[in-house]
Amino acid sequence: MPQSAEKVLDHAPLFREPEYRQMLAEKKINFECPHPDQIVTDQREFTKSWEYREKNLARQALVVNPAKACQPLGAVFAAAGFERTMSFVHGSQGCVAYYRSHLSRHFKEPSSAVSSSMTEDAAVFGGLKNMIDGLANTYKLYDPKMIAVSTTCMAEVIGDDLHGFIENARTEGSVPHDFDVPFAHTPAFVGSHVDGYDSMVKGVLEHFWKGKERAEVAGNINIIPGFDGFCVGNNRELKRLLDLMGVSYTFIQDASDQYDTPSDGEYRMYDGGTKIEDVKAALNAEATISLQHYNTRKTLEYCEEVGQATASFHYPLGVQATDEFLMKVSQICGKEIPEAIRLERGRLVDAMADSQSWLHGKKYAIYGDPDFVYAMARFIMETGGEPTHCLATNGNSAWEAELKDLLASSPYGKDAQVWAGKDLWAMRSLLFTEPVDLLIGNSYGKYLERDTGTPLIRLMFPIFDRHHHHRFPLMGYQGGLRALTTILDKIFDKLDRETSETGVTDFSYDLTR
């Protein structure tokens, strides 16, 4: 037997045992109705061709492995960034299990969220009773300071009215009349997780700001980080920079502590997050700055409606992007950028120069959220690399045009191609027909790496098969240094594999580079 009390195997070696190999082979023959091996091989080779690429990129009615998630995931993440807030998803339990597992597998932390547990009867008669009972249970069992309500496909298809349902639940005594229950409609069948994030953050701000009189505090700013799998490292790094500048700021939706709780014997269902009183006071800020424009379009529009100045960036990573962010903060707040930060900038520039010979001319394929792809393409060009393929499944025509303008501004971007709305199966065709040196994205790219041989650099949410990347920043000058080192490590690892055979591929005792 391959598995016993004395010999416990993980799934990877377990399925290589003879018994399992035989079982899987028989399953394929008896139940999968397989085509002959030659036909499979021929078809596989055809899918690597330019002819298949044209057919693949022309697809409209089918999506294969999109590089995005659905709206409610973004709403659940957004809710985690507020003080003692429980995310309440009006929909089925299975949907919420997906959001929780997706976040917890990336952050290696518990991700709390509850469901109204809608089933077939709620799909027919509506989910009001589920909302009444669910809010009551959430309030009594989990002792939150706020419950943030979002929706799934089922609730949106049948047209459940969240505002009306929540008010009915208050009337029924599920929660006190003065208890905070912001909400956002987040239909999972349109948009993506960045839209769900945007709707929930806007919903929270609108809940606390609507009808309130604004008294502007000059020089005070709000920072909205956007949906960010690296929020633990990024938020802390950005706070460090702002503190060095002496800026008065409020981080709106700060999930850094929630997804990095210590192991000290105490379980924290809630940790950190933007304090409710700070959210209320944030109405009076002079300006709201978004670190990811395409994550916060509705929210920024609302901030403008209440009278705030706004500015947005595309994930400030690298030299120029960080420069622009810090200079904008300096302009609004009237604070000088201190010498300590200038020195950090110079060190990043020096590191890039030190490694220029290994980075210059390298070709990259980048995929992920629109702001991340924009930022990474910009950073790659700063290193002398060429962002050959830039793909965002949730990118729109405005993003495509903006990124093309960026790429056209540098000789390193002149041959780059921008792919808005395309998926990772399309990326596979691009990698086979126009190969690159490196692929930058999330864990799902490992199958592209295996298939096409393109080395994968994991710098985008979600990262399931590596640990603790999210604890280190990508934003700011220190984040740029981290990204630079990660890219260089992959380049040198590849070189080591290609020069590992003494006297055949390794002639120079290659130790110093």
Q: How confident is the model at residue 3 (pLDDT cuts 50, 70, 90)?
A: confident
Cα separation of 206 and 283, whole Å?
A: 10
Tell me which CATH code domain 71-209 carries: 3.40.50.1980
pLDDT at residue 98 greater than cutoff 80: yes
pLDDT at residue 510 greater than cutoff 90: no
Distances (CA, A) of 163 to 54, 90, 183, 203, 453: 47, 12, 8, 11, 51
Residue 365: enclosing H or E segment and its boundaries? strand 363-367
Distances (CA, A) of 393 to 66, 67, 250, 390: 6, 5, 31, 10
DSSP one-letter string for 297-331: HHHHHHHHHTT-EEEE-B--BSHHHHHHHHHHHHH
Marked catalytic residue, from 76, 153, 232, 418: 153
Cα separation of 214 and 216, whole Å?
A: 6
Tell me which CATH code domain 217-261+269-338 carries: 3.40.50.1980
At 309, the amino acid letter reads A
Per-residue pLDDT of 212-245, as tens digits, reads: 999 999 999 999 999 999 999 999 999 999 999 9
Residues paired with 250 in a beta bridge = 222
Residue 123 confidence (pLDDT): 81
Tell me the domain boundaries of the chain.
71-209, 217-261+269-338, 341-483
**CB within 8 Å of 490: residues ≥ 6 apart:** 438, 455, 456, 457
Q: Would you say domain 341-483 falls under CATH 3.40.640.10? A: no
Mean pLDDT, rounded, of the chain:
95
Residue 503 confidence (pLDDT): 79
Residue 10 confidence (pLDDT): 87
Q: Which residue has the higher pLDDT, 15 or 510?
A: 15
Residue 135 confidence (pLDDT): 97
pLDDT at residue 421 greater than cutoff 90: yes
CA 414 distance to own-chain centroid: 27
Strands of 85-90's sheet, edge to edge? 113-115, 85-90, 146-151
Residue 7 confidence (pLDDT): 82
Residue 436 DSSP code? -
Domains 71-209 and 341-483 share a fold: yes
Distances (CA, A) of 142 to 85, 146, 152, 351: 10, 10, 22, 48
**How many Cβ atoms from other residues are within 10 Å of residue 116's Cβ?**
30
CA angle, corner 301, sides to 299 and 303, nearest 5?
70
Torsion of CA 84, 90, 95, 97, to 10 degrees: 30
Residue 261 confidence (pLDDT): 96
Instruction: Note the pTM of the prediction, 2 decimals.
Output: 0.95
Lowest-confidence segment of 7-11, 49-53, 68-72, 406-410 by average pLDDT: 7-11
pLDDT at residue 2 greater than cutoff 80: no
Phi, psi of 4 (to 5 degrees): -155, 175
Residue 270 confidence (pLDDT): 97
Per-residue pLDDT of 364-390, as tens digits, reads: 999 999 999 999 999 999 999 999 999
Residue 12 confidence (pLDDT): 86
**How many Cβ atoms from other residues are within 10 Å of residue 146's Cβ?**
21
User: Helix, strand or coil for residue 40?
Assistant: helix
**Average pLDDT for residues 250-267, to the nearest whole number?**
96
Percent of the chain with pLDDT over 90: 89
Marked catalytic residue, from 40, 64, 157, 190: 157
Residue 396 DSSP code? -
Per-residue pLDDT of 285-336, as tens digits, reads: 999 999 999 999 999 999 999 999 999 999 999 999 999 999 999 999 999 9
Per-residue pLDDT of 115-171, as tens digits, reads: 999 998 888 888 999 999 999 999 999 999 999 999 999 999 999 999 999 999 999
Q: Is 387 exposed, middle or buried (0-12, 13-18, 19+ CB in 10 A)?
A: buried
Per-residue pLDDT of 54-72, as tens digits, reads: 999 999 999 999 999 999 9
Per-residue pLDDT of 181-191, as tens digits, reads: 999 999 999 99
Q: How confident is the model at residue 511 (pLDDT cuts 50, 70, 90)?
A: confident
User: Helix, strand or coil for residue 289?
Assistant: strand
Residue 4 confidence (pLDDT): 79
Residue 1 confidence (pLDDT): 58
Instruction: Decide if 153 is catalytic.
Output: yes
pLDDT at residue 507 greater than cutoff 90: no
DSSP one-letter string for 90-115: ES-HHHHHHHHHHHHHHHTS---EEE
- Strand locations in 421-512, DSSP E? 438-441, 456-458
